[in-house]
Amino acid sequence: MQVKAADPAAAEPRTRPERRARPSRATPPRWRSRKAKGLAYAAPTAVFVAVFFLLPLLLVGQMSLSDWPLLAGDRGLNAPENYADATDGTLFWPAVRFTLLYTVIVTVVLLGLALGLALLVQESRPGTGFFRTVYFLPGALGLASASLLFWGLYSPSTGPLSGILEELGLVDDPVSFLGTPTSALLSTVFLIVWKFAGFYMLILLVGLQRIPQDVFEAARMDGASRGQIFRSITLPLLRPSLALTLLLSVTGSLLAFDQFFILTKGGPDNSTVTVVQLIYREAFQRMDLGTAAALSVIVLAVLLLFNALQFRGLRRADES
Amino acid sequence: MLTRTLGRTPYFVVAGGLAVIFLFPLLWNAWASVSGQPGTAQESGYGFGNYRTLLDYDAGLWRYLLNSTVVSALTVVLTLGVSLLGGYAFARFDFPGKNLLFLLTLAILMVPYATLLIPLYVLLGRLHLQNSLIGLSLVLAMFQLPFATFMMRISFEAVPRELEESALVDGCGTAGALRRVLLPAVRPGLITVGLFAFLAAWNDFIAPLILISDNEKAPLPLAVANLRQQSMGAVDYGATEAGVVVLAVPCLVLFLLLQRHYVRGFMSGALKG
C-alpha cells in the first residue's frame, strides 16, 4: 500500500510538466501512444460493459414500455400498461410484503450469528483455524446445490431432522418443514443462515483484525468490562464491515430466488413467492416479457434507492 | 482474555457444537447418497445405485458435467482475459473516459442480476446466442467483471512501477512488459479472480434457467433441479442427493486447496468498504 501511495507522485513529475510546457503544440507521440495503448487494453472491458450491461439496461426500459409477448416479440409501445399490470397482479403486494419480511428476518439472524461466530474464532486458539474453515464450508457450495441438499434434508420421507427432533424429545409429531407458510419461511431462513453465516463471519473477521490491538489494551488498562469494550470499541470500529454485510445481506435477500424456486416453489398456497420469482413467472409462465420488464425496472429502482441511502449512511459514518 | 477467565472448555463446547451443526447437512447428504432408501435406485444396503441413476438421467451425467465444465472454463477465461487487460489499463494508463468506464464497470454490482436477465434473454436472441453455452458464459463473465476488474486494478497498482519501467527501457513494449514482468507479479490476483469466477459459473442457477431452454444444454445445477420432476411426480431423493455430491465436491476441494486466495478476495472487499 505504501509503495502504491508514494509511486504515482514520483512518476508524475516526469511526464506531466513536459506536457504542460508545450500546450499549443501537438501532444508528444510517446504520450499519445500511451493513451492509445491504455484505450486498447480497456477496450474489452468497454465492449463488455456496453453490450452486456448498458444495452440491456436501455432495453429493459424500452421493454417495460412496450407490449412484448415472449414468443411474438416487440409489438410497439403500450405505456404505462405494463406497470399497471405489474402492480395490479394479485400476487404483487403479497410478494412485496413477503420479500420484505424475509429480508428483515434473514438479515437480523444472519448478521447476529455471523458476528457471534467472528467473535468466537477471532483470537487464535487451538482449533480456531479448523472452526473457521468448518463454519465457512457451506459457503463454498452453490445456493442451488445447498437448496437441493436441504430439500432432501427437510423431506418428510427421507429427511432425518424430524426423527432427530423426536428423539431429543423436542417435538411429539413429525414436523412438516415446508408444509405451512410459517414453517416454509423459517426452514428457508435456516438454509440461508447455514449457507451464508461463515461468509459474513469472514468479512467481519477481516474487519475485526483491522482494529489495532492497542485500542483494546488501553481500554483494558482503564478497567473497561468486556461488555463495555464490545459496545464502545468493537462495534463502532467494526461499523464499515457491518455496513458491508448489511448491504450484501439486504440486497441478496431482496433478490431471493433460487432457494424459494427449489425448496418451496413459492408454496404452500403462493405464500413464499418473492418479487424475483414474480418476474420469472410473468416472463416464462404468463409469457409476458413487457410486464416482467416493468417489474424488473421497479426492483432496480428500489435497490438503487436503497444502495444510495446506504452509501450516504456509510459516508456519514466515515466523517464522524 | 476470554480463555483466562472462562477456561477453554466452554469455548470448545460452543465452537464444537456449532461445527457439528454446520457439518451435519453435508455429511448427511454424502451418507444418504450411498445408503439404501425405498423409492430410489439404491433400495437397501450401501452402494452407488443413485449415481448410476444420475449417469442415465436424460442426456446423462457426463453431458451435464461437460456443459458445466465448458461454461465454467469459458467464464473463467473470459473474466481473466478481460480483467487482466482492463486492470492493467486502469492501474497504469491515462486515457479519456477512464474514470467513467471504471465506475460503469463497478455499477454492474448495483444492478440486480435478475432484472438484467429479462433484457439479456431478448438481446442474446438477437445476437443468435440464445440457448447457447457461449452466450451464457458471456453473461456470467459480465457479472464477474466488477469484482475482477477491481481486484486486478489493485493487484497491478501494488506492483512497483520501476519493475515495469525497467522492462520498457530494456526495449519491451507494454505488451512485453505485461507478459514477462507484470504477469508473474499479479498471479495471486489472477488466481483469486479465477477461483471466484469458477465458483460463480459452476453454481449459477437462475442464468441458465432463463437463458438455456434446451435440456441437452443444461449445466449440472439446472439438470439436477429438473431431475426432481422426473417420473410422474414420484420424487427420487437418492438421485438428487447424488447430484448434490457431484455439484459440491469440486467446490469444496477447490476451496480447501485455495483458501488463502479466497480470503484475499474478502480482504480487498474490506479495503473497499
The sign of the dihedral angle between the CA atoms of A65, A70, A74, A78 is negative
B45: its cell numbers: 444396503
ipTM rounded to 2 decimals: 0.89
**pLDDT tens-place string over residues B143-193:** 999 999 999 999 999 888 888 888 888 878 888 888 888 888 899 899 999
What string of H, E and C letters represents the secondary structure of B115-165? HHHHHHHHHHHHCCCCCCHHHHHHHHHHHHHHHHHHHHHHHHHCCCHHHHH
Residue B119 to residues A173, A255, A270, B266: CA-CA distances in angstroms? 48, 17, 26, 31
Contact A142 B23 (CB under 8 A): no
* H helix or E strand, kind and range, residue B17: helix B9-34
Contact A46 B101 (CB under 8 A): yes
DSSP output for A172-234: SS---TTTSHHHHHHHHHHHHHHHHHHHHHHHHHHHHHTS-HHHHHHHHHTT--HHHHIIIII
- Residues of chain B with C-beta less than 8 angstroms from the C-beta of A276: 112, 114, 206
Contact B270 A42 (CB under 8 A): no
Instruction: Point out the residue among B118, B222, B228 whose CB comes nearest to the CB of A292.
Output: B118
Mean model confidence pLDDT for chain B: 87
A288: three-class secondary structure by DSSP? strand
- Residues of chain B with C-beta less than 8 angstroms from the C-beta of A297: 115
pLDDT at B142 over 90: yes
Among residues A47, A15, A17, A49, the alpha carbon closest in space to that of A33 is found at A15
Return the beta strands (E) in chain A as ranges.
none
Contact A148 B224 (CB under 8 A): yes
Q: What is the pLDDT of residue A12?
A: 39
- Residues of chain A with C-beta less than 8 angstroms from the C-beta of B96: 35, 39
- Cβ of A26 under 8 Å from any chain B Cβ? no
Residue A135 to residues A63, A200, A243, B213, B268: CA-CA distances in angstroms? 43, 10, 21, 36, 21
The tens-digit pLDDT sequence of chain A (320 residues) is 333 333 343 433 444 444 444 444 455 556 568 889 999 999 999 999 999 999 999 999 999 999 888 888 888 888 788 898 888 888 999 999 999 999 999 999 999 999 999 999 888 788 888 999 999 999 999 999 999 999 989 988 778 888 888 888 787 777 788 888 999 999 999 999 999 999 999 989 888 888 888 888 888 888 888 888 888 888 888 888 898 889 889 988 999 999 999 988 887 888 899 999 999 999 998 899 999 999 999 999 998 888 888 777 766 666 55
